[in-house]
Amino acid sequence: MEVRLSPLAGFNPVGGLAERTELKSDVVVVGAGPAGSAAAYFLARAGVDVLLLDKTSFPRDKTCGDGVSSRALAVLECMGLGPWVQGNGFVEPETMRLSAPNGQFVTYSPDPREFSYGRVIPRFQLDQALLARAVAAGARLAERVKITGLEWLRSGKVRLVGEEDGHTVRVEARLVIAADGAFAPFTSTLGLIRHPPNMLALRAYFEGVEGSPTLLEIHYERAILPGYGWIFPVSDGRANVGVGAYASEVRSRRLNLRDALHHFVTNNPCARARLGRARMVGPARGYPLRTGVGGTIPYTDNVLVAGEAASLVSPLTGEGIATALESGELAARHARRALEDGDCSAVALAAYGRELHRRYGRDHRAARILRRLLSIPWVTNHIVRRAQHDPDFALLIGYVIIGVTSPAAALRPGPIVRLLVG
């Protein structure tokens, strides 16, 4: 039996995997999404023997809003993907529109010399590009391999157990990076997940979208507060359109996201103006999101958890590509240190968990406070009304929503006073 290999340029073959024959690698990365591919890239570039496993085949699509923030672009630049981003004509939003439950809205544009709203890059293309960079750097890739368990060995190493096309696969490693996304099936088997995904979203692509192809829109809908609807232009006349809501609200209000998406498209004044003549292309697809540092224990003996599996998605906006890429790089750095020190114990890897909390803990706590405030319609209405008359306040809110400025910045005395006196 052989593990099928991806025909990517520069591919470093794994070789045949006969049943019950073990493959060995210093580091195994489980999951080849943004976090896993970033981790594999940075490890391989540093000369570490790394094997990247994924349960699916590439290229493959991934349901997402497709927004890639400037923070995420910074990591892509570090991975050598800057020219790819610049050369593929991906939409660079120049203007943002934000609306409140009462229908009022504010539109504003930052100075492009000081700030970027990032790009809109379909995940089908983004994930393939990231994986190709990891492979080109020297990572080995095996697709359609589903890891089902982990065994700790007396040697201090671990053995991953899984299957491919019904055949048993065993891989021995010194360290594992789990980057298995929102569902986190592998991370769950390790007992590291503290709560299920706590945000749900539904998105569809529309063609025949009117208005500016560089206008990014976020609309707070009363029915799904503190969730929102969005319109992210993918190209001229085509957009990623969706709604997101928190799982607790979906349950308590018995929300149906398909109904919520239909209501957003047909009833929100801003959405109706752009989508009134548009048509949906393909089915609407739903996906869960795992938000908030602390929802996952991000390490144990011989294991680090990165990306959405580590609950790093923003509790305020649902954005997770930036934290996936950043945590992938961070996990690679801590993995290298553990390998160099010859200590992959939980005690040694705890430094990774502490750094995640230093980086994201404060922001996620502030995001949860803002989320509670946005669940109150009159507060959201007042924020938008204030933004209409205060350009600096509008830019601050936009920066926070787009994930470049810390949510804690909106809770400082200055913005609070400006909101209250508006």
CATH (domain of 416): 3.30.9.10
Measuring CA to CA, which residue among 194, 133, 158 is closest to residue 30?
158
359 and 307 together in one domain: yes
Cis peptide leading into residue 226 (ω within 30°): yes
- Written as tens digits, the pLDDT of the chain (422 aa) is 333 334 443 344 454 444 445 689 999 999 999 999 999 999 999 999 999 999 999 898 888 999 999 999 999 999 999 999 999 999 999 999 999 999 999 998 876 666 677 899 999 999 999 999 999 999 999 999 999 999 999 999 999 999 998 899 999 999 999 999 999 999 999 999 999 999 999 999 999 999 999 999 999 999 999 999 999 999 989 999 999 999 999 999 999 999 999 999 999 999 999 999 999 999 999 999 999 998 999 999 999 999 999 999 999 999 999 999 999 999 999 999 999 999 999 999 999 999 999 999 999 999 999 999 999 999 999 999 999 999 888 888 888 888 878 898 888 888 776 776 76
DSSP notation for 151-203: EE-TTS-EEEEEEETTEEEEEEEEEEEE--TTT-HHHHHTT-B-S---EEEEE
| φ, ψ of residue 381 in degrees (nearest 5) | -60, -45
> Which sign does the torsion angle of CA 156, 157, 160, 161 carry?
negative
Residue 32 confidence (pLDDT)? 97
Residue 411 confidence (pLDDT)? 87
Residue 21 confidence (pLDDT)? 56
258 and 304 together in one domain: no
59 and 207 together in one domain: no
318 and 235 together in one domain: no
Residue 410 confidence (pLDDT)? 86
C-alpha–C-alpha distance, residues 230 and 215, integer Å: 11
**Has residue 79 been placed in a domain?**
no
**Has residue 110 been placed in a domain?**
yes
Q: Token pair 């400082």 is at which residue? A: 412
**Has residue 186 been placed in a domain?**
yes
Measuring CA to CA, which residue among 4, 49, 44 is closest to residue 25?
49
134 and 192 together in one domain: yes
Cis peptide leading into residue 59 (ω within 30°): yes
Residue 95's beta-bridge partner residues?
215
**Residue 103 CB: number of other CB atoms within 10 A?**
14
**Has residue 86 been placed in a domain?**
no
36 and 129 together in one domain: yes
203 and 266 together in one domain: yes
Range of the domain at 157: 17-65+124-196+292-366
Q: How far is CA 178 from the centre of its chain?
A: 15
Residue 261 confidence (pLDDT)? 97
Residue 114 confidence (pLDDT)? 61
**Has residue 78 been placed in a domain?**
no
Q: Which two tokens stand for residue 398?
A: 């936009």
Measuring CA to CA, which residue among 374, 365, 312 is closest to residue 98?
374
- Are the C-beta atoms of residues 239 and 209 closer than 8 Å to each other? yes
Q: Which of 366, 387, 406 is the last residue of a domain?
A: 366
C-alpha–C-alpha distance, residues 301 and 347, integer Å: 8
DSSP notation for 25-65: EEEEEE--SHHHHHHHHHHHHTT--EEEE-SS-SS----S-
Domain tally, the chain: 2
Measuring CA to CA, which residue among 277, 274, 289 is closest to residue 201?
289
Residue 115 confidence (pLDDT)? 65
- Are the C-beta atoms of residues 257 and 202 closer than 8 Å to each other? yes
Measuring CA to CA, which residue among 366, 261, 348, 274 is closest to residue 304?
348
61 and 151 together in one domain: yes
C-alpha–C-alpha distance, residues 133 and 361, integer Å: 30
**Has residue 2 been placed in a domain?**
no
> Which sign does the torsion angle of CA 116, 378, 410, 331 carry?
negative
**Has residue 166 been placed in a domain?**
yes
CATH of the domain at 40: 3.50.50.60
In angstroms, what CA-CA distances link 383 with 338, 342, 411? 47, 52, 13
45 and 136 together in one domain: yes
107 and 36 together in one domain: no
Residue 299 confidence (pLDDT)? 98
Q: Which of 345, 366, 387 is the last residue of a domain?
A: 366
Q: Is 127 helix (H, G, I), strand (E, B) or coil?
A: helix
336 and 214 together in one domain: no
203 and 271 together in one domain: yes
**Has residue 84 been placed in a domain?**
no
In angstroms, what CA-CA distances link 222 with 91, 243, 245, 414? 29, 12, 11, 27
